[in-house]
Amino acid sequence: MKVMVLGGGGREHAVVHAFSKSKITSELHCCPGNPGIAKLAQCHAGDPCDPQAMKTLCEKLGIELVFVGPEAPLVAGTADALREAGILVMGPGASGARLEGSKAFSKQFMKRHGVPTSDFDLCTNLEECKAALAKRSAPFVVKADGLAAGKGAFLPESYDEAVATCRMMLEEQKLGTAGNLIVVEDYVQGMEMTVLAITDGETVRILPSSQDHKRALDGDKGNNTGGMGAYSPVPWVDDAFMKKVTDEVLTPTVDGLKAEKIPFCGVIYAGIMIKPDGSLSVLEYNVRLGDPETQVVLPAFGGDFGEVILACAKGELADIPWPGAKLVALGVVMASGGYPDAFEKGYPISGADEEIENTFVYHAGTKLNDRGELVTNGGRVLTVVGLADDLPTARERAYGRVKKISFEKAHYRNDIGDKSLKR
């Protein structure tokens, strides 16, 4: 089967890697891809957020199955255009993508369908923000309604800082139109985890559990990032807990989409806070695989990923045996110095191409310069993954591999996996 993956980050490199090992794949393509992906798939220039351009490209190449990686093309309606052309697609249409594309829509959706989440207020001006903040105490939670490339959620420590954050979005337009509507919500204390599930709109299947590390620095200090590392599966997550997540979060979500006549074939990513009393609170939905969670979930997964995605795209997910996790994977993000704030690009990368057993290096912010050298080209540059039968060994292999890779001002956390290893 001719398969196209849309996107060019670490998540897409992991997806391409999984498809490259699938028995369904005869030809593998990616748009736009990156230097790591180019070793596994034919890469094409283009903008995945341009629905008509993607339709034209896929028709020209005779693509039979498309996996849409990032959220922006889904919100833009790329999946809709491809389906209209008769191509099988993994990824929701624009109506389903609102679960991620609009924080306001997703919070209201959760309330309508009994999915546990924190109380919230929607604010369109600074006075409304001040009133919503005055009802709450620090730390505050302030989010932009629209897509902000993972940088639209804030946890101000004081009322004044929270007001300044709202002003930055509403009046200074620092996040563009994404910040025209603001969600102010209750802070939820607890342990955060990610649940990734796939659905064809009827059947839901949970991928291996994972835990992301959002803060830039060790000990969960520093600014929020797109994610500095992850591991999968999470040792303390058992079948009983996953049943609770399915019953309280995933099933009501899929039933709610059906009730609102929103077709949905794709990924439901639930960011969940487990409160000290064991109850759940959904922080947010995404409608695509997480990054860097994908880079550990897919290597840990015991099945043929391509077969699973094909079955899902055809509406036949119920017919596929579900193996769950077979191995343990831990991934460490190597980022540019200064990330998630200002950082420099163009530093040569050494040691990333060496093949070492039970490790993978997934490219994200990389490119080839004019001299054909691999250089840094983004905030999160690489995700370095160790694979093993247990978490300590996976961690050892990942960090061992990290130490063989270098670029100027490289930054990474040293404590990925500690939360479970020290429990």
Domains of the chain, each with CATH number or no CATH: 2-91 (3.40.50.20), 120-185 (3.30.1490.20), 191-421 (3.30.470.20)
Output the pLDDT for position 423: 64
**Amino acid identity, position 330:** L
Helix H or strand E segment including 375? strand 374-376
Encoded tokens for 236: 């303390």
C-beta atoms surrounding 80 within 10 Å: 20
Helix H or strand E segment including 76? helix 71-76
User: Cis before residue 32, ω within 30 degrees of 0?
Assistant: yes
Encoded tokens for 64: 């039979």
Tell me how far apart the alpha carbons of residues 138 and 187 are, in angstroms, rounded to a whole number.
Answer: 8
Encoded tokens for 304: 């043929």
Look at strands 215-217 and 211-212 and give their pairing. Answer: unpaired
CB-CB contact of 269 with 194 (8 Å): yes
Output the pLDDT for position 255: 97
Tell me how far apart the alpha carbons of residues 310 and 33 are, in angstroms, rounded to a whole number.
Answer: 21
pTM: 0.93
Mean pLDDT of the chain: 95
Tell me how far apart the alpha carbons of residues 5 and 15 are, in angstroms, rounded to a whole number.
Answer: 8
Sign of CA dihedral 356, 357, 361, 362: positive
DSSP string for residues in 324-344: -B-SEEEEEEEEETTTTSS--
**Residues of the chain where predicted confidence (pLDDT) is lower than 50:** none
CB-CB contact of 400 with 324 (8 Å): no
Residue 316 neighbours by CB under 8 Å, 6+ apart: 200
DSSP state of 68: E
CB-CB contact of 365 with 340 (8 Å): no
Which strands make up the sheet holding 153-154, listed edge to edge? 120-123, 182-185, 141-144, 153-154
CB-CB contact of 249 with 279 (8 Å): no
Tell me how far apart the alpha carbons of residues 75 and 287 are, in angstroms, rounded to a whole number.
Answer: 9
Tell me how far apart the alpha carbons of residues 203 and 5 are, in angstroms, rounded to a whole number.
Answer: 23
Which strands make up the sheet holding 27-32, listed edge to edge? 42-43, 27-32, 2-7, 65-68, 88-90
Output the pLDDT for position 324: 81
